[in-house]
Amino acid sequence: MQIAVIGAGIAGLACARRLVDDGHAVVVFERSTGPGGRVATRRTEVGGFDHGAQYLTARHPSFVEQVDAWSHDGVIEPWPVETHGLAAIAGTASARAPSTGRTLRWVGVPGMSAIGRRMADGLDVRYDASIVRIDAVSAWQGGAPRWSLQRRDSDSDVLAVTEGLFDAVVAAVPAGSARLFIGDASGIGRKAAEAHLEPCWALLIGFAEPIAADLAKVGDAAFVDGGRLAWIARESSKPERRPGERWTVHAQSAWSLEHLDDDPEDVKSKLLRAFHDATGTAEQPVYAALHRWRYALARKSLSSDFLWDDERRVGACGDWCRGYRVEDAWLSGVALATAIASSG
Ligand SMILES: Cc1cc2nc3c(=O)[nH]c(=O)nc-3n(C[C@H](O)[C@H](O)[C@H](O)COP(=O)(O)OP(=O)(O)OC[C@H]3O[C@@H](n4cnc5c(N)ncnc54)[C@H](O)[C@@H]3O)c2cc1C
């Protein structure tokens, strides 16, 4: 079959790879300029920041196998970090003890984006191709329709029909966008509407010198209780990173939602103040940038691994189908590809 996959995140790439291995002709359409989706690294003049997923963990045997293969090939390495717990205002509550004996955390090297790059290797991925709609072209003699896709390129507002017709379409995008493609009227469209992803503002800060925080309490990574922040991590504590004092700071979902459309400069200074409050430092960064993840974490996911309409040959996969982690995205993509292959 000729299959279009919309989205080159972990779910889309895992699905595409399995479909290609099963002998299908697959084209992946990705609206941004690189693969990986929320598993991302931003390169800056002060060094890289993993501004989306911080690390991955593996529990399911088939994902453990995949992680072993990436580790063997040098795509990921363990991040032996002890996470701490911080009060939103330093010293106002006792910090949580560092976590020990948890599931191993893995990070891409030299950045999280290495994972998407590896997964996209050898696949036909069209970047800068934002798909805006899919149309059923014909249902030959009562059979399944074929699909035509319309794309918008970033440098123009003109819509163009992608070349070729597809026998099946996979929407490997966050739930809200998947519904646009699948259509709310269908059973799987209504199912997709049950999933919910929350936003996250990410602040990326770099300092000229090591910061004088109470390192015993902050460590290299910490969950922050209460207030604006959810998580802070020192980038250079991860393996194979450029040295330097760089921190990725994630805001709480509720705070991010409340301030989603605020002036970015305002958000930046509020999050920087929250970082100072939690770490007990006052140093000003020499680099500060923001990233707004509109759909960051799936707080409400479905109980199915994927969605698939066998009559129309359209489906969806992503973390939101089965959970909220990188592992869920990968498993969802693979499970959908397996279902498509067995649907004939
Ligand atoms: C701030 C943050 C922190 C996180 N921390 C962790 C963590 O520590 N550990 C963990 O396991 N998980 C974490 N996650 C979650 C993890 O990143 C996701 O579960 C996983 O990456 C989801 O992959 P996906 O393929 O389902 O979706 P996505 O990564 O969202 O991929 C969807 C892709 O589709 C593309 N796309 C969207 N619309 C279109 C369109 N119309 N046309 C073409 N392309 C389109 C997007 O550009 C994107 O590349 C975090 C996420 C965020 C944002």
- Mapped onto helix, strand or coil, the DSSP state of residue 206 is strand
Q: Is residue 181 within 8 Å of 131, Cβ to Cβ?
A: yes
Amino acid at 45: E
User: Please, are residues 12 and 321 in contact by the beta-carbon 8 Å criterion?
Assistant: no
Assigned token pair, 115: 């994972």
Q: What is the pLDDT of residue 161?
A: 77
Instruction: Please check whether residues 182 and 292 belong to one and the same domain.
Output: no
pLDDT digits (tens, 9 = 90+) for 116-143: 999 999 999 999 999 999 999 876 666 7
Domain that holds residue 183: 1-33+127-195+304-344
**Residue 250 forms part of a structural domain:** yes
Q: pLDDT tens for residues 294-309?
A: 999 999 999 899 999 9
**Rounded Cα–Cα distance for residues 154 and 257 (Å):** 26
Residues in contact with 318: Cβ distance below 8 Å, sequence separation at least 6, in sequence order? 7, 9, 11, 172, 173, 174, 175, 178, 298, 329, 332, 333
Residue 102 lies in a domain: yes
Per DSSP, helices labelled H in the chain are: 10-21, 61-72, 113-120, 175-182, 187-192, 215-218, 253-258, 264-279, 319-322, 326-342
Percent of the chain with pLDDT over 70: 93
**59 closest CA partner among 242, 333, 326:** 326
| Judgement on whether residues 58 and 186 belong to the same structural domain of the protein | no
Ligand 1 atom nearest residue 296's Cα: 53
- Predicted confidence (pLDDT) at residue 94 exceeds the cutoff of 60: no
* Same domain flag for 206 and 285: yes
Q: Is 198 a pocket residue for ligand 1 (Cβ < 6 Å)?
A: no
Coil, helix or strand for 197?
Answer: strand
Ligand 1 near 56 CB (within 6 A):
yes
Q: How remote is the CA of residue 343 from the centroid of ligand 1, in Å?
A: 27
Do both 85 and 154 map to the same domain? no
Quick one: 107 and 205 in the same domain? yes
The pLDDT score that the predictor gives to residue 217 is 77
Are both 210 and 99 inside the same structural domain?
yes
User: Domain total for the chain?
Assistant: 2
> Does ligand 1 come within 6 angstroms of the Cβ of 172?
yes
Q: Are 187 and 232 contained in the same domain? A: no
Confidence (pLDDT) at 93: 56
Model confidence band, residue 198 (pLDDT cutoffs 50, 70, 90) = very high
Question: At 317, which CATH number?
Answer: 3.50.50.60
Are 230 and 290 part of one and the same domain? yes
Amino acid identity for residue 192 in this structure: A
Q: How far apart are CA 52 and CA 139, in angstroms?
A: 41
pLDDT tens digits for range 278-294: 999 999 999 999 999 99
Give the 3-state secondary structure of residue 81: coil
Looking at the structure, do residues 294 and 224 belong to the same domain, yes or no?
yes
190 and 318, same domain (yes or no): yes
Q: Whole-model pTM? A: 0.96
Residue 120 lies in a domain: no
227, part of any domain: yes
Ligand 1 atom nearest 202 alpha carbon: 1
Q: Percent of the chain beyond pLDDT 90?
A: 82
pLDDT in tens, 211-223: 977 777 788 999 9
The answer on 55 and 180 residing in a single domain is: no
Q: In the predicted model, is pLDDT for residue 101 greater than 60? A: no
Residue 15 Cβ < 6 Å to ligand 1? no
pLDDT of residue 216: 73
Cβ(252)–Cβ(296) under 8 Å?
A: no
Among 166, 132, 176, 117, smallest CA distance to 5 is for 166
121 part of a folded domain: no
**Closest residue (by CA) to atom 38 of ligand 1?**
173
